[in-house]
Protein backbone atom coordinates (compact mmCIF):
# COMPACT_ATOMS: atom_id res chain seq x y z
CA UNK A 1 0.00 0.00 0.00
CA UNK A 2 2.79 2.39 0.93
CA UNK A 3 4.58 1.58 -2.32
CA UNK A 4 1.48 2.38 -4.39
CA UNK A 5 1.04 5.65 -2.52
CA UNK A 6 4.66 6.59 -3.13
CA UNK A 7 4.39 5.77 -6.83
CA UNK A 8 1.19 7.81 -7.12
CA UNK A 9 2.86 10.76 -5.43
CA UNK A 10 5.87 10.46 -7.74
CA UNK A 11 3.63 10.40 -10.80
CA UNK A 12 1.75 13.46 -9.52
CA UNK A 13 5.04 15.29 -9.05
CA UNK A 14 6.17 14.44 -12.58
CA UNK A 15 2.82 15.48 -14.06
CA UNK A 16 3.32 18.93 -12.52
CA UNK A 17 6.84 19.34 -13.88
CA UNK A 18 6.64 18.45 -17.58
CA UNK A 19 4.31 17.37 -20.39
CA UNK A 20 5.46 13.74 -20.21
CA UNK A 21 8.02 11.54 -18.51
CA UNK A 22 10.26 11.64 -21.57
CA UNK A 23 10.04 15.44 -21.72
CA UNK A 24 10.91 15.61 -18.05
CA UNK A 25 14.00 13.47 -18.62
CA UNK A 26 15.14 15.56 -21.60
CA UNK A 27 14.62 18.87 -19.83
CA UNK A 28 16.34 17.76 -16.63
CA UNK A 29 19.36 16.41 -18.52
CA UNK A 30 19.82 19.74 -20.29
CA UNK A 31 19.43 21.66 -17.02
CA UNK A 32 21.96 19.39 -15.32
CA UNK A 33 24.50 19.88 -18.09
CA UNK A 34 23.97 23.55 -18.93
CA UNK A 35 21.84 25.56 -16.48
CA UNK A 36 24.71 26.24 -14.07
CA UNK A 37 27.28 27.56 -16.57
CA UNK A 38 27.92 31.28 -15.84
CA UNK A 39 28.85 34.27 -18.03
CA UNK A 40 28.44 34.80 -21.75
CA UNK A 41 29.65 31.24 -22.32
CA UNK A 42 26.62 29.79 -20.55
CA UNK A 43 24.25 32.25 -22.21
CA UNK A 44 25.54 31.21 -25.65
CA UNK A 45 25.33 27.48 -24.89
CA UNK A 46 21.77 27.78 -23.59
CA UNK A 47 20.74 29.93 -26.58
CA UNK A 48 21.86 27.07 -28.82
CA UNK A 49 20.70 23.97 -26.95
CA UNK A 50 17.57 25.12 -25.11
CA UNK A 51 15.92 25.24 -28.53
CA UNK A 52 15.48 21.52 -28.04
CA UNK A 53 13.00 22.10 -25.22
CA UNK A 54 11.39 25.54 -25.75
CA UNK A 55 10.41 27.89 -28.56
CA UNK A 56 12.76 30.75 -29.44
CA UNK A 57 12.18 33.40 -32.09
CA UNK A 58 15.73 34.37 -32.93
CA UNK A 59 18.32 34.80 -30.16
CA UNK A 60 17.58 35.07 -26.46
CA UNK A 61 19.69 35.39 -23.33
CA UNK A 62 19.09 33.00 -20.41
CA UNK A 63 21.34 33.45 -17.39
CA UNK A 64 22.49 30.59 -15.17
CA UNK A 65 20.16 29.47 -12.41
CA UNK A 66 16.94 29.99 -14.38
CA UNK A 67 14.28 27.35 -13.61
CA UNK A 68 11.89 26.26 -16.37
CA UNK A 69 8.97 23.83 -16.10
CA UNK A 70 6.78 22.66 -19.00
CA UNK A 71 9.44 24.23 -21.22
CA UNK A 72 7.67 23.09 -24.40
CA UNK A 73 4.89 25.57 -23.52
CA UNK A 74 7.28 28.54 -23.27
CA UNK A 75 8.00 30.91 -26.15
CA UNK A 76 10.65 33.63 -26.01
CA UNK A 77 10.78 36.42 -28.58
CA UNK A 78 14.00 37.64 -30.17
CA UNK A 79 16.11 39.59 -27.70
CA UNK A 80 14.24 38.39 -24.60
CA UNK A 81 16.32 38.16 -21.43
CA UNK A 82 15.79 35.93 -18.38
CA UNK A 83 17.89 37.01 -15.41
CA UNK A 84 19.41 34.67 -12.87
CA UNK A 85 16.96 33.19 -10.39
CA UNK A 86 13.83 33.59 -12.50
CA UNK A 87 11.25 30.78 -12.48
CA UNK A 88 8.83 30.04 -15.34
CA UNK A 89 6.23 27.30 -14.82
CA UNK A 90 4.16 27.21 -17.98
CA UNK A 91 1.64 24.33 -17.87
CA UNK A 92 -0.59 23.87 -20.95
CA UNK A 93 -1.56 27.16 -22.68
CA UNK A 94 1.85 28.41 -21.72
CA UNK A 95 3.98 31.51 -21.26
CA UNK A 96 4.69 33.84 -24.18
CA UNK A 97 7.33 36.56 -23.71
CA UNK A 98 7.71 39.14 -26.47
CA UNK A 99 10.81 40.52 -28.19
CA UNK A 100 13.30 42.52 -26.13
CA UNK A 101 11.43 41.93 -22.89
CA UNK A 102 13.54 41.64 -19.74
CA UNK A 103 12.56 39.42 -16.81
CA UNK A 104 14.66 40.44 -13.82
CA UNK A 105 16.22 38.52 -10.94
CA UNK A 106 13.88 36.38 -8.85
CA UNK A 107 10.72 36.98 -10.88
CA UNK A 108 8.17 34.16 -10.83
CA UNK A 109 5.80 33.50 -13.75
CA UNK A 110 3.46 30.63 -12.95
CA UNK A 111 0.43 29.52 -14.98
CA UNK A 112 -0.28 26.79 -12.42
CA UNK A 113 -3.25 25.17 -14.15
CA UNK A 114 -4.02 21.82 -12.60
CA UNK A 115 -7.82 22.30 -12.58
CA UNK A 116 -8.31 22.36 -16.38
CA UNK A 117 -8.95 26.10 -16.35
CA UNK A 118 -9.79 27.11 -19.95
CA UNK A 119 -8.07 30.51 -20.15
CA UNK A 120 -4.88 30.02 -18.18
CA UNK A 121 -1.81 31.62 -19.76
CA UNK A 122 0.67 34.45 -19.44
CA UNK A 123 1.33 36.70 -22.44
CA UNK A 124 3.82 39.56 -22.19
CA UNK A 125 4.34 41.97 -25.09
CA UNK A 126 7.51 43.49 -26.49
CA UNK A 127 9.98 45.85 -24.76
CA UNK A 128 8.61 45.14 -21.28
CA UNK A 129 10.46 45.02 -17.97
CA UNK A 130 9.36 42.55 -15.30
CA UNK A 131 11.02 43.79 -12.12
CA UNK A 132 12.89 41.87 -9.45
CA UNK A 133 10.75 39.41 -7.46
CA UNK A 134 7.61 40.20 -9.41
CA UNK A 135 5.03 37.41 -9.17
CA UNK A 136 2.63 36.72 -12.06
CA UNK A 137 0.07 33.95 -11.66
CA UNK A 138 -1.89 33.18 -14.79
CA UNK A 139 -4.67 30.78 -13.82
CA UNK A 140 -7.32 33.09 -15.30
CA UNK A 141 -5.04 34.43 -18.02
CA UNK A 142 -2.73 37.43 -17.86
CA UNK A 143 -2.29 39.60 -20.95
CA UNK A 144 0.35 42.32 -20.72
CA UNK A 145 0.81 44.78 -23.57
CA UNK A 146 3.94 46.43 -24.94
CA UNK A 147 6.35 48.65 -22.98
CA UNK A 148 4.87 47.71 -19.61
CA UNK A 149 7.22 48.12 -16.64
CA UNK A 150 6.70 46.41 -13.32
CA UNK A 151 8.88 47.60 -10.46
CA UNK A 152 10.26 45.15 -7.86
CA UNK A 153 7.88 43.04 -5.77
CA UNK A 154 4.79 43.61 -7.92
CA UNK A 155 2.11 40.90 -7.78
CA UNK A 156 -0.26 40.20 -10.68
CA UNK A 157 -2.59 37.46 -9.47
CA UNK A 158 -5.27 36.20 -11.89
CA UNK A 159 -6.95 33.90 -9.38
CA UNK A 160 -8.94 34.21 -6.17
CA UNK A 161 -10.22 31.83 -3.50
CA UNK A 162 -13.92 31.50 -2.69
CA UNK A 163 -14.55 31.79 1.05
CA UNK A 164 -18.27 32.64 1.43
CA UNK A 165 -19.30 29.50 3.34
CA UNK A 166 -18.18 29.60 6.97
CA UNK A 167 -19.09 25.93 7.39
CA UNK A 168 -16.38 24.75 4.99
CA UNK A 169 -12.64 25.45 4.77
CA UNK A 170 -11.86 27.87 1.96
CA UNK A 171 -9.68 25.22 0.30
CA UNK A 172 -12.87 23.19 -0.31
CA UNK A 173 -14.83 26.07 -1.87
CA UNK A 174 -13.01 26.40 -5.17
CA UNK A 175 -11.50 29.38 -6.94
CA UNK A 176 -12.41 32.06 -9.44
CA UNK A 177 -10.12 32.94 -12.35
CA UNK A 178 -11.40 35.86 -14.42
CA UNK A 179 -8.11 37.09 -15.86
CA UNK A 180 -6.12 40.34 -15.90
CA UNK A 181 -5.40 42.67 -18.82
CA UNK A 182 -2.67 45.31 -18.66
CA UNK A 183 -2.63 47.53 -21.73
CA UNK A 184 0.39 49.21 -23.40
CA UNK A 185 2.69 51.72 -21.67
CA UNK A 186 1.66 51.00 -18.08
CA UNK A 187 4.00 51.51 -15.10
CA UNK A 188 3.35 49.44 -11.98
CA UNK A 189 5.04 50.84 -8.87
CA UNK A 190 6.99 48.75 -6.36
CA UNK A 191 4.91 46.41 -4.23
CA UNK A 192 1.65 47.07 -6.05
CA UNK A 193 -0.87 44.24 -6.28
CA UNK A 194 -3.18 43.68 -9.25
CA UNK A 195 -6.09 41.42 -8.34
CA UNK A 196 -8.12 39.09 -10.52
CA UNK A 197 -10.68 40.49 -12.96
CA UNK A 198 -8.96 43.88 -13.40
CA UNK A 199 -8.10 45.80 -16.58
CA UNK A 200 -5.35 48.45 -16.40
CA UNK A 201 -5.84 51.06 -19.13
CA UNK A 202 -3.17 52.27 -21.54
CA UNK A 203 -0.62 54.76 -20.25
CA UNK A 204 -1.73 54.54 -16.63
CA UNK A 205 0.47 54.49 -13.53
CA UNK A 206 -0.15 52.42 -10.40
CA UNK A 207 1.53 53.91 -7.33
CA UNK A 208 3.86 51.91 -5.10
CA UNK A 209 2.01 49.73 -2.60
CA UNK A 210 -1.40 50.14 -4.25
CA UNK A 211 -3.92 47.28 -4.28
CA UNK A 212 -5.93 47.44 -7.49
CA UNK A 213 -9.36 45.83 -7.16
CA UNK A 214 -11.21 47.64 -9.99
CA UNK A 215 -10.46 48.68 -13.56
CA UNK A 216 -8.07 51.60 -14.07
CA UNK A 217 -8.93 54.15 -16.76
CA UNK A 218 -6.31 54.99 -19.42
CA UNK A 219 -3.84 57.78 -18.62
CA UNK A 220 -4.63 58.00 -14.94
CA UNK A 221 -2.58 57.62 -11.75
CA UNK A 222 -4.07 55.45 -9.00
CA UNK A 223 -2.85 54.65 -5.50
CA UNK A 224 -3.88 53.47 -2.07
CA UNK A 225 -5.58 50.43 -0.56
CA UNK A 226 -7.85 49.87 -2.34
CA UNK A 227 -6.51 51.92 -5.25
CA UNK A 228 -8.35 55.16 -6.10
CA UNK A 229 -7.88 57.86 -8.69
CA UNK A 230 -5.12 60.35 -7.79
CA UNK A 231 -5.07 62.37 -11.00
CA UNK A 232 -5.34 62.24 -14.76
CA UNK A 233 -2.14 62.34 -16.78
CA UNK A 234 -1.68 65.34 -19.06
CA UNK A 235 -4.48 67.44 -17.57
CA UNK A 236 -3.06 70.77 -16.34
CA UNK A 237 -0.94 69.26 -13.58
CA UNK A 238 1.95 67.60 -15.42
CA UNK A 239 4.44 70.47 -15.16
CA UNK A 240 8.02 69.14 -15.32
CA UNK A 241 10.00 72.34 -15.96
CA UNK A 242 11.90 72.06 -12.66
CA UNK A 243 12.82 68.39 -13.10
CA UNK A 244 16.00 67.03 -14.65
CA UNK A 245 14.94 64.34 -17.12
CA UNK A 246 17.27 61.67 -18.48
CA UNK A 247 16.30 59.90 -21.70
CA UNK A 248 17.27 56.40 -22.80
CA UNK A 249 19.95 56.14 -25.43
CA UNK A 250 18.61 55.19 -28.85
CA UNK A 251 21.95 54.85 -30.64
CA UNK A 252 25.62 54.31 -29.87
Residue 161 annotated in active site: yes
Q: Active site residue: 21, 78, 161, 214, which one?
A: 161
- DSSP tag of 148: -
Q: Label the pairing between strands 228-232 and 220-223.
A: antiparallel
Q: What are phi and psi of 51, to 5 degrees?
A: -65, -20
The count of other CB atoms within 10 Å of the CB of residue 227 is 23
User: Of how many residues is the chain composed?
Assistant: 252
Do the beta carbons of residue 215 and residue 232 sit within 8 Å?
A: no
- CA–CA gap between residue 69 and residue 135 (Å, rounded): 16
- Based on C-alpha coordinates, what's the Rg of the chain? 20
CB 80 within 8 A of CB 104: no
Catalytic positions: 161
Amino acid sequence: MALKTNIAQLNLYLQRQASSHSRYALEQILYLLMSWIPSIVGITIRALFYRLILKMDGWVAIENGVRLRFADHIRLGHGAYLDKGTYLHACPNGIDIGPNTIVMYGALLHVYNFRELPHSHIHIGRDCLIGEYTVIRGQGGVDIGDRVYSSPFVQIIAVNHVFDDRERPFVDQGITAEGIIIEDDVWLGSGSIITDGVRIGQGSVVAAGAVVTHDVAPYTVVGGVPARLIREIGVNNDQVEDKIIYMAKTSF
